[in-house]
Amino acid sequence: MLRKGLYALLIILVLIVLYFLAWPVPIEPVAWKAPPNPGYTGPFAQNELLKAIEFLKIGPNYGPEDVAIDDQGRIYLAAHEGVIVRLQPDGAKPENWVNTNGRSLGIDFDNAGNLIVADAFRGLLSISPEGKIIELATIADGIPIRYADGVDCAADGKIYFSDASTKFGAKESGGPMEGSLLEIMEHGGHGRLLVYDPATRQTKTLLSGLNFANGVAVSHDQTYVLITETGSYRIIRYWIAGPNRGKSEPIIENLPGFPDNISTGLEGRFWVALISPRNKLVDNLSEKPFLRKMIQRMPKFIRPKATAYGHIIAIDGNGKVLKNLQDPQTGYPQNTSVKETKEFLYIGSLISPVVARLVKSKVGL
């Protein structure tokens, strides 16, 4: 009897080993060398300045990923389930304005007052002031847009946006978070920066090979676009005008967290939201693709996940950190975006049932 029990245990152990060695998973991890984590030091020194935020109710919704403001001062939020929430200029009276029936992420207004939406499930959308939804782009250079993420409209009408991953589509992966984790764990460079030209109604790829292409911001002088490369902890500048047109280079690298959206602020600033601190295990296994594949076979609750830590920064066009606002003990986790007005900073979140607002004068702005 004892021998039979040991034999059964041996079989179970062999099956477990075989599972971790050979069970198919969707990722094929690529080896890369993660830079040493600077932590919360130097320009990222820990503080509690974000604790001054206040909260605005958004009705029966959650996850206000991005924020946009129309010419009447009304506040628009891209929430879960494709809902676009609209608040009055004072932050009151939340209403479900329209529903894309997808998952709206990045949002921005174009020159005609249409709300442009990077919808992770549907592609690039335009919503008229009356609420009519039009699909602008679902494919670029013959490749389907599987994970539209960040978006910004230029003065000339062109729309710059990101396709976070051409391999791990947000819808096919089970949602934006699930798709992002797969792309970052594989580190295969499936993200790209795209541009939609309303004059030709054509969408083109400007930059590819990005490890989870995320937020997009057109510069104040309209000569370049900044894009966050979440999986590589950096921000890249792509030139759209001038002698460097078509060229790109990183302007800030080795961030202490995963950068999400980036937006053009006031007085030459760009605002960056860091959704979570870096994960030590992910960094340590960057050069060990086989082990990363084994981790993907583990139960979901064991795998690396985002950690709650409030953090936004302001940088200039060359990557110099101008402002560093944090809340280590955050009551508003997973910051995803920042929208600056003359008086406030509006801060998005992937999971919160409210949207945050910070009076700029409270943090020296």
Q: What is the domain count for the chain?
A: 1
Q: How many CB atoms lie within 10 A of CB 362?
A: 13
Strands (E), 94-246: 95-99, 104-109, 115-119, 123-127, 133-137, 139-140, 143-144, 148-153, 159-163, 191-197, 202-210, 213-218, 224-229, 234-239
Helix (H) or strand (E) holding 335, with range, is strand 335-340
- Classify the C-alpha dihedral 54-59-60-64 as positive or negative: negative
- Classify the C-alpha dihedral 58-75-216-111 as positive or negative: positive
The pLDDT score that the predictor gives to residue 353 is 96
The pLDDT score that the predictor gives to residue 301 is 77
pLDDT 10s digits, 46-89: 999 999 999 999 999 999 999 999 999 999 999 999 999 999 99
Positions in the chain whose pLDDT score sits under 70 = 1-23
- Domain extent at residue 252: 2-363
Cα 283 to chain center, whole Å? 19
The pLDDT score that the predictor gives to residue 298 is 78
Q: pTM of the prediction?
A: 0.94
The pLDDT score that the predictor gives to residue 329 is 82
Contacts of 219 (CB under 8 A, 6+ apart): 225, 226, 264, 317
Rounded distance between C-alpha atoms, residue 117 and residue 201, angstroms: 16
The pLDDT score that the predictor gives to residue 84 is 98
- Classify the C-alpha dihedral 233-56-121-185 as positive or negative: positive
The pLDDT score that the predictor gives to residue 331 is 76
The pLDDT score that the predictor gives to residue 21 is 57
CATH number of 159's domain = 2.120.10.30
The two three-digit tokens of residue 237, written as one number: 């500048």
Cα 178 to chain center, whole Å? 13
The pLDDT score that the predictor gives to residue 10 is 62
